[in-house]
Amino acid sequence: MSGIKVQSLNRMLVTAVLSAVTALGMTAPLLAQAPDEQDRQKQERQQKGDRGDRAEKQAAQKEQEAQREQQQRAQRQEQQVSAQRRQQLDIEQKQRLVTYRQREIAQERLSTQREAALQQQNRAAQYRYQQQYQERRREQMQNWNARSYEYNNDRYFYSAPRYRYVRAGKSYQTNQYGADFLRQAVNYGYEQGLPAGQADRADGWRSGYKSSYAYQDGDYGYNGYYVSPDEYRYYFRQGFRRGYDDGYNNRTQYGIDDDNGNMFILTAVLTSILNVLSN
């Protein structure tokens, strides 16, 4: 009996071992396959990511190409506009110079007539002021002629209008040179109006800035370039009127003097006359 039980136990033990070996043999391939499956999935994800990156790069390249093409079109249009602007400015400038030089000849004759009238009126102070004014104007013209300025060789002359200002409800545009020139007109006007007013007061003459030759002339500091003569005269006369009022009334309502005794129009007054803004 004992022998039979031992044999049964041995058979059972062998069967269990065989079953365990069999189970182990079947599980091992599965365990071996798990890393392979993970690698495959990882590779698929990487491939999808690479395709996505390539698509993004292609989209970015297309966008850059579109931007470059747009910039090139804008540059071509700007060059065409610039060429048209140069041609327009050339025509305007030539007409401006012809008109300006013809007027200068007429103003010389008028100045002589005005001096004779001042002498008849015994306005000695105003007569001296007008002579000084005309002398400075001639010096300005001689200096400009000596420079032999050629605007078509000045690259700044053709610079784009970057500033705007409003006069009599109408908007105008100009470049840096034009803006500076108009500010100069206001300052020169105040500078010349001050002694004109002082001269009338010294002569005991009634106040009247419009009767001054300098006011009527309005070209002091102007050389025929950058802005139209009408624009320059308008702003010169605006400064002149305020300078004349200060000179005639012996005050400094619109101006201020520096350490050297030179008078300048106040910045706030200048801005109220000519408010130049960037485009």
Q: Which residue has the higher pLDDT, 74 or 53?
A: 53
Residue 244 covered by a domain: yes
- One DSSP character per residue, 113-153 reads HHHHHHHHTT-HHHHHHHHHHHHHHHHHHHHHHHHT--GGG
Residue 117 covered by a domain: yes
pLDDT in tens, 203-217: 999 999 999 999 999
Q: Measured between alpha carbons, how far is 206 from 221 in angstroms, rounded to an integer?
A: 27
* Rg of the chain, C-alpha, whole Å: 45
Residue 73 covered by a domain: no
Q: Measured between alpha carbons, how far is 20 from 25 in angstroms, rounded to an integer?
A: 8
Q: What number of other Cβ atoms are within 10 A of residue 207's Cβ?
A: 13
Residue 8 covered by a domain: no
The whole domain housing 201 covers: 95-278
Contact indicator for 240, 192 with CB cutoff of 8 Å = yes
For the cut 70, the answer to whether the pLDDT of residue 49 exceeds it is no
Residue 206 covered by a domain: yes
- What is the arithmetic mean of pLDDT over 162-187? 92
**57-77 burial, b if ≥16 CB within 10 A, otherwise e?**
eeeeeeeeeeeeeeeeeeeee
Q: Measured between alpha carbons, how far is 172 from 182 in angstroms, rounded to an integer?
A: 12
Residue 236: what residue type? F
- One DSSP character per residue, 160-189 reads ---EEEEETTEEEEE-HHHHHHHHHHHHHH
Q: What is the mean pLDDT of the chain?
A: 81
pLDDT in tens, 73-104: 545 444 444 777 778 878 888 888 888 888 88
Q: Which residue has the higher pLDDT, 175 or 243?
A: 243
Q: What is the pLDDT, as a whole number, of residue 33? A: 52
Domain count for the chain:
1
For the cut 80, the answer to whether the pLDDT of residue 14 exceeds it is no
**pTM above threshold 0.75:** no
Residue 105 covered by a domain: yes
Residue 270 covered by a domain: yes
Contact indicator for 135, 148 with CB cutoff of 8 Å = no
Residue 100 covered by a domain: yes
pLDDT in tens, 141-169: 888 776 666 777 777 777 778 899 999 88
